Amino acid sequence: MRIFLSLLLFASLGMASGLTLAVAANVSYAMKEIKAAFLKMHPGTDLRIIVGSSGKLTAQIRHGAPYDLFLSADMRYPSSLFRAGLAPEPPRVYALGSLALLSVKPRDLKGGLAILASPSLRRIALPNPRTAPYGRAGMEALKRSGLYPKVRDRLIFGESVSQTVAYTLTAADIGIVARSVLRSPRFADYREGTQWIGISPELYTPIRQGALLLKQGTKSAVAREFYDFLFGKEAREIFRRYGYLLP
């Protein structure tokens, strides 16, 4: 049934005119502003955003999903699609992501990741390392810090950054999420040091996020224009405001 529904979605996207982006969950927050800025320059463009984990989106593209561009949370997934002949040129790094701890309940987070050793934190949310690059980075941080053996039985996995945020807000005591999440209006009142804190970048490999113009996108001039817009001054400033580092 799920496959049937996915095929229906792909068919409807393929028949519609405009631009369809496959976007990793962590960047969906900044993408709302980037979309608005692009539409000011290209009014009337039908710009659709499909959000998911990078791994799931990659699988959809391999199975024929008619996406024009792919904004991944890493370079591994888009590079694999390029090697498979699904894109005319290799991906480019559009932003460098970073990790943060997030808690609904105020806590003393100044010690950073070490707080996870506390047995009072019974559920710790993390993106699934199998499908989400931020999950792989989070797992790497847990292992490098020596905390993984202490927390592995308390981890609950979200399919993507968005789902992990939802778990953090409802089912977990604390979560490892993308720092970009904290720039969304939803978290405007959350305080650094008590409800969120950045995780030391020394604990994980830099998260190099790649954009890929897919073969489907080469059929549309607006797809190339959006791809170029991603690397322009206005989009880069939006990425910077959402906590990304710039390549």
**Which CATH number is 176's domain given?**
3.40.190.10
Does residue 38 fall inside a structural domain?
yes
Task: Please tell me the total count of domains within the chain.
Answer: 2
Same structural domain for residues 55 and 22?
Answer: yes
Residue 72 and residue 105 in one domain: no
Full domain range(s) for residue 7: 2-96+208-241
pTM of the full structure: 0.86
Spatial contact of 239 and 28, defined as CB atoms under 8 Å apart: no
13 and 92 assigned to the same domain? yes
Tokens of 213: 């113009």
* pLDDT, mean over the chain: 92
Q: By percentage, how much of the chain surpasses pLDDT 70?
A: 93
Q: How many whole angstroms separate alpha carbon 22 and alpha carbon 202?
A: 30
pLDDT the model gives residue 17: 54
Domain check: are 76 and 40 in the same one?
A: yes
Q: Which residue has the tokens 């005119």?
A: 17
Question: 57 and 8, same structural domain?
Answer: yes
Q: What gap in Å lies between CA 174 and CA 109, rounded to an integer?
A: 11
Q: Mutual orientation of helices 221-230 and 28-41 as an angle, nearest 10°?
A: 120
DSSP-derived pairing of the beta strands 47-52 and 19-24: parallel
Count of CB atoms situated within 10 Å of the CB of 90: 14
pLDDT tens digits for range 20-29: 999 999 999 9
Report the alpha-carbon distance of residue 212 to residue 94 in Å, rounded.
Answer: 10
Is residue 8 scored above 70 in pLDDT?
no
Q: Give a yes or no: residue 246 inside a domain.
A: no
For residues 107 and 189, state if they share a domain: yes
Residue 215 has pLDDT above 80, yes or no: yes
